[in-house]
Chain A
């Protein structure tokens, strides 16, 4: 078995526990840090699997090293302990925060958050707090949109009450979220069972607590175009589902990307389902998104699978090697700061770790001392060839076919080019094509050398912002094109000879359009 070293699981709850069980059963040693502080969850029982080490309520206070050889420090409040782990999975549960503020209602016996209701429904104790024929009103957000997972829970709670108890339920919402499996059917059932659904688009209800604690709701109904007053014996509030606030610290310690909402995975489709910007570090369940109960279980299974693929070294194809020449390195830390995959360490020499490096070339292009080499023979050969051909062509002819080089990202533009060809689009005849793993490979020097060698125009094509595997590729490429264009201007060469454009892999037609448009532009400019 190749899984000698441990995998660290940060988090507890159904998804984490299921994942831990799977990994252990497959012979992976697991160390689980529950984030709750209390050993609230049952240990999965594994027959013949690896033992599971558990640390309750510990904090991750440090993480060094790279995929396969992380060195983490965990502190459970007594003393910090260092562990070696080969991979890390971040999998905390989401936080539910009742929307009292949103509706301006204080918690009381007559104003319950959904989780409180769910517990009472389980215990069968709801009846005790409401009169017969009670009016129970579910509030599922109108001024902001609720998460479908919350809408699902609200709808299920509402249906259960309407069907089982002697109550009259009302469901007040803006957009009713039914994009979860079975929810449209659940909505139909609730309507049949007698739930009244009232939806608001722009005129919202007014909620007023009465002296006896009940809530009076005045609203304007859009379908009947009439004012109504409803006095609720019980109000059920929805909740906001948020990432665990402790994720922020984990994200910082592990040098992970995060999204606008605070989840530990950037909002980039290429990170789906469980990948992060760092090889060997995974996110699952509440670390990456708000998921339904069913989806959490699915996520545990697929994460186990992805972790095992990594531990067996089968998670990716071999990549070209990137190395720092210690003789040239001035330890300026440019590369260390730039590397989106945290593949460079200082120990004290700057070292690029092949296990973590994704060969994006960002550091290669940015190193001020040209101390980093990317052994991508295809890139260098193509580049030298193109430049060489350019020089020859310049020496030979004065024809009016512009000599254009395309610097393409392998994941977007290069695939869009294949697509354009297969769709039968015509491309300029005189294109020179240089492909790099990421658009961040291309340096200012590449661009200037190509122009010097006699090319008339260079088009740099990368992924769209937010769709780049290296995260920063488009941004860096754009910056470098601007910089090179500025230098060209200084040398009296039209800056329009350089162009930066973003494309997705599925944009075959647009690829042809952009390239042909660029050729037109360069034609109009004439030779350098």
Chain B
């Protein structure tokens, strides 16, 4: 189908936006990507490679691949540091956006929302996050790995001898009205634990969980291997306190002994869940597009959107998704956009 001359604006240049851009560019569509941060790549670009003896299929390096791939398309343009200020709808969409290069206006026949997610802020949880320096999130652990290649305790820059990984922080939580599994955190925490044990041999890793979720195609093999070096405790700690010798005391109910258990750790890593981005509300208002009760974007295929003409949604903006799922979701949206533009 020749769609030369058609224009699509993609909001968000993460893995989903990049994959969709590639598909659309192949159809000859002019693509403008508006990226809120200073660089395309999205949150997956902040993840470190978890390979130990070989690739462990986390998918993070797919971002670099997609970034390289879209360079061959002259019909893809990326505007960074962009903020959508206004959207006028008349014969398509006229989007006014502010960036550090000034105010620009783009016209497009369709819009793809691929704005991704926001990590849960665990300050409200009883884990001391925010005031105990050695309680950090998986994202902060990723940043440490990116910067130092190793994990250090923020309080004293020493390498921790024992680390607690606490799962489902902000996910699968009916009290928060978060009735979803974030899908990716079991995999990223286990891979991270094994990377740390590989780079910092002797590190004790304890994994507090409700249910371990499947990740990757050969999960069983990876999981069985992980259980050899990682202590698995099927409980979620109720509280975390700092001890007088600068360690973290986790109190939990041990299902094995049926008693309240306690254990001390040098570092606690909270597997924070995927939640709706706070910008969704404003953007949805500008687009006049309904969100789910939790604040995620609805799929453009969802009847409740009234099939709003020309607005498409994909990726973790719709709810928790792994990187491979984001790729699929982007493919779906691009296909739907091409069908839509082919008939308008």
Q: How far is the CA of A273 from the CA of B62 in the complex (A)?
A: 11
Complex interface bits, A361-396 against B, C-beta within 8 A gives 1, otherwise 0: 000000000000000000000000000000000000
Query: Cβ of B51 < 8 Å from any Cβ of A?
Result: yes
B interface bracket (residues with beta carbon within 8 Å of A)? 35 or more
Residue contact B51 to A148, C-beta cutoff 8 Å: no
B64 touches A505 (CB 8 A): yes
Complex Cα distance, B215 from A365, in Å, reads 37
Q: What separation, in Å, do the CA atoms of A181 and B183 have in the docked complex?
A: 9
> In the assembly, what is the distance between CA of A223 and CA of B254, in Å?
9
Are A506 and B213 in touch, CB under 8 angstroms?
A: no
Chain B's nearest CB lies how many Å from the CB of A237? 19
Q: Do B65 and A270 touch across chains, with their CB atoms under 8 A apart? A: yes
Q: Which residues of A contact B261 (CB under 8 A)?
A: none
- Whether the Cβ atoms of A504 and B213 lie closer than 8 Å is no
Known contacts: A26-B1, A506-B45. The answer to whether A312 contacts B26 by CB under 8 A is yes
Is the CB of B228 closer than 8 A to any CB of chain A?
no
Instruction: Let me know if B101 is at the binding interface, CB within 8 A.
Output: no
Tell me if B51 and A179 are in contact (CB < 8 A).
no
- B272 CB, nearest partner CB in chain A, Å: 16
| A305 interface contact, C-beta 8 A | yes
> Residue A188 contacts which of B148, B174, B319 (CB distance < 8 angstroms)?
B174
Interface string of B288-320 (1 = CB under 8 A from A): 000000000000000000000000000000010
Among the stretches B82-90, B107-115, B325-333, the one at the interface with A is B325-333
Residues of A within 8 A of B218 (CB): 259-261, 267
Closest CB-CB distance, A268 to chain B, in whole Å? 7
Cβ contact of A260, chosen from B48, B147, B210, B221, cutoff 8 A: B221
* B117: min CB distance to chain A, Å: 14
Alpha-carbon distance between A273 and B23 when the two chains are bound, in angstroms: 12
Q: Does the CB pair B220–A144 fall under 8 Å?
A: yes
> 0/1 per residue, A193-224, Cβ < 8 Å to B?
00000010100000000000000000000110
Cβ–Cβ < 8 Å partners of B217 in chain A: 259-261, 263, 267, 289
Complex CA distance for A268 and B179, rounded to whole angstroms: 32
Stretch from A34-42, A170-178, A336-344, A434-442 contacting the other chain = A170-178
Bitwise, B49-60 to A at CB < 8 A (1) or not (0) is 101011101011
A115 contacts partner chain B, Cβ-Cβ < 8 Å? no
Interface flags, A137-156, vs B, CB<8A=1, else 0? 00000001101100000000
> Per-residue 0/1 for B210-228: is the Cβ within 8 Å of any A Cβ (1 yes, 0 no)?
1111111111110100000
A225 within 8 A of B: yes
- Complex Cα gap A65–B214 (Å): 39
Do B59 and A269 touch (CB < 8 A)?
Answer: yes
B130 on interface, CB distance cutoff 8 Å: no
Contact with A along B186-226 (1 / 0, CB 8 A): 10000000000000000000000011111111111101000
Closest residue of chain A to B233, judged by CB?
A201
Q: A305-B334, A415-B64, A506-B47 are in contact. Are A185 and B180 (CB under 8 A)?
A: yes
Asked whether A302 lies within 8 Å of B146 as measured between CB atoms, the reply is no
Q: Does A354 contact B (CB under 8 A)?
A: no
Q: Give the residue of A145, A269, A466 whose beta carbon is less than 8 angstroms from that of B324.
A: A269
Do B181 and A179 touch (CB < 8 A)? yes
B213 close to A148 (CB less than 8 A) = yes
Task: Given the known inter-chain contacts A309-B26, A509-B147, please indicate yes or no for A467 contacting B329, CB distance below 8 A.
Answer: no
Taking a contact as CB atoms closer than 8 A, the residue among A175, A411, A509 that contacts B212 in the complex is A175
Smallest CB separation, A8 vs chain B (Å): 21
Which residues of chain A are near B186, meaning CB under 8 Å?
179
How many inter-chain contacts with C-beta < 8 Å in the A-B complex?
A: 163
| Smallest CB separation, A156 vs chain B (Å) | 16
Check A496 for interface membership: any CB of B closer than 8 A: no
Q: Is the CB–CB distance between A506 and B26 below 8 Å?
A: no
Q: Tell me how far the C-beta of B57 lies from the nearest C-beta in chain A, rounded to whole angstroms.
A: 6
Contact B211 A147 (CB under 8 A): no
Which chain B residues border A272 with CB–CB below 8 Å?
Answer: 59, 62, 324, 327
Interchain CA distance A317-B65 in the complex, whole Å: 13
User: Interface digits, A39-67 against B, CB 8 Å rule (1 contact, 0 not)?
Assistant: 00000000000000000000000000000
B103 within 8 A of A: no
- Write out the residue numbers on chain B whose beta carbons fall within 8 Å of the beta carbon of A295: 325, 328
In the assembled complex, the Cα of A188 lies from the Cα of B65 at a distance in Å of: 39
B61 CB–A CB distance under 8 Å? yes
Question: Residue B6 at the A interface, CB < 8 A?
Answer: no
User: Which chain B residue lies CB-closest to A189?
Assistant: B179
The reply to whether B223 and A145 contact each other, CB–CB distance below 8 Å, is yes
In the complex, whether A453 has a CB less than 8 A from a CB of chain B is no
- Distance to closest chain B CB from A265 (angstroms): 9
Which of B64, B223, B255, B329 has the most chain A CB atoms inside 10 A of its CB? B64
Closest-by-CB residue of A relative to B149 is A509
Interface members, chain B 218-245 (any A CB < 8 Å): 218-221, 223, 232, 234
Residue A510 CB within 8 A of the other chain: yes
Decide: A201 and B338 in contact? CB cutoff 8 A. Answer: no
Q: Which of B60, B69, B149, B211 contacts A199 (CB 8 A)?
A: B211
Q: A184 at the A/B interface (Cβ < 8 Å)?
A: yes
Would you give the shortest CB distance from B81 to chain A, in whole angstroms?
Answer: 16
Which of A148, A308, A464 lies in contact with B214, CB distance below 8 A? A148
Any chain B CB within 8 A of the CB of A431?
no
Residues of A within 8 A of B221 (CB): 260
Counting CB contacts under 8 A, is A507 at the interface?
yes
**Residue in B54, B219, B232, B335 whose beta carbon sits within 8 Å of that of A301 in the complex:** B335
- Point out the residues of chain B lying under 8 angstroms from A267, CB to CB: 57, 216-218
A250 part of interface (Cβ distance < 8 Å): no
Contact with B along A55-82 (1 / 0, CB 8 A): 0000000000000000000000000000
Distance from B331 Cβ to chain A, minimum over Cβ atoms (Å) = 3
Contact A269 B61 (CB under 8 A): yes
Check if A491 is an interface residue, CB within 8 A of chain B. no
By a CB distance below 8 angstroms, the chain A residues around B216 are: 267
Chain B residues whose CB sits within 8 angstroms of the CB of A314 once the complex forms: 26
Contacts of B61 in A (CB 8 A): 269, 412, 467, 504-506
B49 is contacted by which of A144, A223, A305, A506 (Cβ under 8 Å)? A506
User: CB distance A505 to B65 under 8 Å?
Assistant: yes
Q: Is B123 an interface residue (CB 8 A)?
A: no
A304 interface residue, CB < 8 Å from B? yes
Contacts of A225 in B (CB 8 A): 255, 258
Q: Report yes or no: A302 in contact with B57, Cβ–Cβ below 8 A.
A: no
Q: What is the chain A residue whose CB lies nearest that of B328?
A: A298
Chain B contact residues, CB within 8 Å of chain A: 1, 23, 26, 45, 47-49, 51, 53-55, 57, 59-65, 68-69, 72, 146-149, 171-172, 174, 179-181, 183, 186, 210-221, 223, 232, 234, 255, 258, 319, 323-325, 327-329, 331-332, 334-336, 338
By Cβ-Cβ distance, the 7 closest A-B pairs, closest first, are A302-B331, A505-B64, A465-B54, A467-B55, A466-B55, A504-B49, A179-B213
Given A179-B214, A467-B55, A505-B65, 18 more contacts at CB 8 Å? A145-B214, A145-B219, A148-B214, A223-B255, A261-B218, A267-B217, A269-B323, A269-B324, A272-B324, A302-B332, A317-B69, A463-B55, A465-B53, A466-B55, A506-B61, A509-B146, A509-B147, A509-B148
- Listed by A's residue number, 12 A-B pairs whose Cβ atoms lie within 8 Å are A183-B181, A267-B217, A298-B328, A302-B331, A315-B26, A466-B55, A467-B55, A467-B61, A503-B49, A504-B51, A506-B47, A509-B149
